[in-house]
Amino acid sequence: MPLYNVPLDDIRFVLHEVLDVEKTLSDIPAYEETSSADLMDQVLEEGAKICQDVLFPLNMSGDHEGCTFEKGVVRTPKGFQEAYALFSTGGWCGVSADPEYGGMGLPAVMNASMQEMLTSSNMSFGMYPGLSQGAYEAISHFGTDVQKQTYLPHLADGSWSGTMNLTEPHCGTDLGLIKTKAIPNKDGSYAVSGQKIFISAGEHDLTENIVHLVLARLPDAPEGVKGISLFIVPKFLPETGARNDGVFCASIEEKMGIHANATCVMVYENAVGWLLGEPHKGLKAMFTMMNAARLGVAMQGLGIAEVACQNAVAYAKDRLQMRSLSGIKAPDKPADPIIVHPDIRRMLLKSKAFCEGARALAYWAGVTLDLANKHPDKTTRAEADDLVALMTPILKAYLTDMGSEIANEAIQVYGGAGFIREHGIEQYARDARIAMIYEGTNGIQALDLVGRKMSLGYGRLLRQFFHPVMAFIEENQMNASLQEFIFPLAKAFGKLQQSTALIAQRGLKDPEEAAAASVDYLRQFALVAMAYMWAKMAGVAQEKLAEGTGNKDFYEEKLHIARFFFARMLPEADARFKMVLAGAAPLMAMKAESF
């Protein structure tokens, strides 16, 4: 059976020592009572309990049983209803929701840590409240006062859940092709008709109501994405409690993973809905939800990697196989544990280096989101918003790519046992795979980075990352103890700047040049960002060791893993730089007929 222990020490290290969240958020009045280190630690401990003790035990059984569908009704696996009731009663559906609507009002960075724990313990379960958070964000930003009062309290307390309905059978990424229609009714509502596919949590038995946010076209809508509007279509009508008969689930998908989360085909036949936001500007409102979802999906990549890593480490310490090449390490046993072998250590260290670096990077984005949303200074909000916008596609793509990779390496550590269902490790590889696809495939994230984020405001977004990294390098370049980290960071950062300039120059002449470089550029960018985080973590660890405070073994472990990252993982950034230099010709020169 698999295991999972919430890595509270590592989470606290990032929040309190690396990012100093309490100080960072000290100028935000909204967090005056909710950003203290003591309160955050209490929330983390309570969140860890429900994840470890309630949700994790349901993960494997939920995967085996899956959701069932009969006559339009979806039932979640055994134990999910009781677990959700406990989860929502504890207030966990509204961790960062506004207290005005019944939420905890905690910083967004705390929501990020909760999303990590939820995914590690039970990814399928975590998707239900995760989607509700996205619906909450969209309605809170674009809803009328009546819509906010009607929906937000129920989404915050978990009695209602939310979905996002974009994809149709004939279109996925190209939303300009959607055919779902919305016809005005005399009472101000709309009759929504169309079909949506791949709708996560579109139907289930966990909540009293399900609030669908649906992209559709008005009769006077212009062609393309400029003619899309967003509608709130609830399963039950809030005014009367009557069933909204025009919306129903036609079927659920048989999937590779996330079996305990229903992926639905949703049909709308003159379903009653209400416009959310302005006519023909639904894509802007939906992207508020999608951007929140993309950061949530990034946390899914980290969460899966963390639990897979924990299990691989435990197995490597227990599994006996051959003797160490440098001599017997366990003379009292017939063979040494496989953790003595270099290749096993390579996979385990790679997993740990990714998880800890990704956690710091994702939590940095989380606390920056808090600055963007709540800081009283307009300039600070704008700069923070730029950084979050820049980092969102990088986090979504890199963390989910690596989540899948780490899950597969965990299977490799287990060997044949990892391929067998009873050990529970193969589930992580199956569950992780969807995160690279939904909320915009990772290739789309790369195109977003080079096609939109790089050029916006003549590089305005890029400066929000480049400037602090450059300042950190300059500030620490004379620090002898940090030079083993600063020098390779500076070298990789310089090549990232070269890639950026090259893509901008080539892309102006031929957009396919930018597109061809996009995936490699995103990966290069992510590795440099991880190196920045690891250099910061190494600096903190060195300071603590010099002071003689804290757990000596803990900080020495951080330095060991930092050295592994810089020696064995950051060099990939140089390879990606060379791939960017290769240009579009190796990809585009061959005729399509020759494939």
Q: How many CB atoms within 10 Å of residue 4?
A: 22
pLDDT greater than 80 at residue 556 = yes
Q: Residues near 73 by Cβ (< 8 Å), separated by ≥ 6?
A: 203, 205
Integer Cα distance of 153 and 464 in angstroms: 35
Residue 398, pLDDT > 90, answer yes
- pLDDT, position 285: 82
Q: What is the rounded CA–CA span in Å between residue 529 and residue 576?
A: 14
**Looking at residue 43, what is its pLDDT?**
97
Q: Which of 34, 16, 28 is nearest to 104 (CA)?
A: 34
d(CA 338, CA 507): 49
The whole-angstrom distance between residue 451's C-alpha and the CA centroid of its chain comes to 21
* Whole-Å CA distances, 287 to 127, 277, 337, 427: 18, 12, 49, 30
Phi-psi region of 427 (alpha: psi -120 to 50; beta: other; left: phi over 0): alpha
CA separation, residue 437 to residues 162, 350, 401, 427 (Å): 20, 23, 10, 17
What pLDDT does residue 283 have? 83
Domain 161-280 in the same topology as domain 8-154: no
Query: Exposed/middle/buried for 504, CB within 10 Å: 0-12, 13-18, 19+?
Result: middle
What's the 3-state SS for 442-453?
Answer: HHHHHHHHHHHH
pLDDT in tens, 411-448: 999 999 999 999 999 999 999 999 999 999 999 999 99
Residue type, position 455, single letter: S
Q: Which of these, 276, 300, 273, lies nearest to 288 by C-alpha position?
A: 276
Across the strands, what pairs with 182?
192
- Burial of residue 508 (CB within 10 Å: 0-12, 13-18, 19+) is exposed
Closest CA to 371 of 20, 1, 31: 31
Q: Which residues pair with 68 in a beta bridge?
A: 75
Structure tokens at 25: 């958020």
Least confident of 386-395, 400-409, 452-461, 488-497: 452-461
What size, in residues, is the chain?
Answer: 595
Return the sign of the alpha-carbon dihedral for residues 583, 587, 588, 590: positive
Average pLDDT across the chain, whole number: 96
Residue 286 in this model has a pLDDT that exceeds 80: no
Q: How far apart are CA 27 and CA 23, in angstroms?
A: 8
pTM tops 0.95:
yes
Cα→Cα distances 180→165, 167, 171, 245, 248, Å = 10, 10, 11, 17, 15
pLDDT tens, residue by residue, 140-185: 999 999 999 999 999 999 999 999 999 999 887 777 789 999 999 9
Q: How far apart are CA 84 and CA 72, in angstroms?
A: 21
b/e 272-307 (16+ beta carbons within 10 angstroms → b)? bbbbbbeebbbbebbebbbbbbbbbbbbbbbbbbbb
201 CB-near residues (< 8 Å, 6+ apart): 127, 128, 131, 161, 163, 210, 261, 262, 264
- The two tokens of residue 575 are 């390879």
The DSSP H or E segment spanning 346 is: helix 342-374
Question: What CA–CA distance (Å, rounded) separates 339 from 331?
Answer: 15
Say if residues 492 and 527 touch (Cβ distance below 8 Å). yes
Is the CATH code 1.10.540.10 the one for domain 8-154? yes
**pLDDT reported for residue 67:** 98
* Domain segments of the chain as ranges: 8-154, 161-280, 451-589
pLDDT in tens, 328-382: 999 999 999 999 999 999 999 999 999 999 999 999 999 999 999 999 999 999 9
Q: How many CA atoms lie within 13 A of 96 on its CB side?
A: 24
Please report the DSSP string for 85-112 in residue order.
Answer: HHHHHTTGGGSSS-GGGT-----HHHHH
Question: Beta strand 263-276 with 247-252: parallel, antiparallel or unpaired?
Answer: antiparallel
* Residues whose CB is less than 8 angstroms from the CB of residue 514 and which lie 6 or more positions away in sequence, other chains included: 450, 451, 503, 504, 506, 507
The pLDDT value recorded for residue 557 is: 98
Q: What is the third-level CATH fold of 161-280?
A: Butyryl-CoA Dehydrogenase, subunit A; domain 2 (2.40.110)
Of 180, 201, 202, nearest in space to 191 by CA: 180
Contact 303, 4 (CB under 8 A): no
Among candidate residues 17, 78, 73, 15, the one with its CA nearest the CA of residue 43: 15
What is the rounded distance in angstroms from the CA atom of residue 201 to the CA atom of residue 162?
8
* Radius of gyration of the chain measured on its C-alpha atoms: 24
What's the confidence (pLDDT) of residue 134?
92
**How far apart are alpha carbons 337 and 144 in whole angstroms?**
61
Distance of alpha carbon 472 from alpha carbon 468, whole angstroms: 6
Within 10 Å of residue 170's Cβ, how many Cβ atoms? 11
List 17, 203, 306, 439, catalytic entry: 439
327: which residues sit within 8 A by CB, 6+ positions away?
none
Q: Alpha-carbon distance 580 to 516, whole Å?
A: 8
- The whole-angstrom separation of Cα 300 and Cα 306 is 10
For the stretch 192-210, pLDDT in tens is 999 999 999 999 999 999 9
**Mean pLDDT, range 284-289, rounded to an integer:** 78
Q: Coil, strand or helix: which one is 229?
A: strand
**Which pLDDT does position 594 carry in this prediction?**
96
DSSP letter at 182 equals E
Q: Report, as an integer, the average pLDDT of 286-312.
A: 91
| pLDDT computed for residue 36 by the predictor | 94
Q: Which of 124, 53, 111 is nearest to 86 (CA)?
A: 53
β pairing state of 229-234 and 209-216 = antiparallel
Establish whether 439 is a catalytic residue. yes
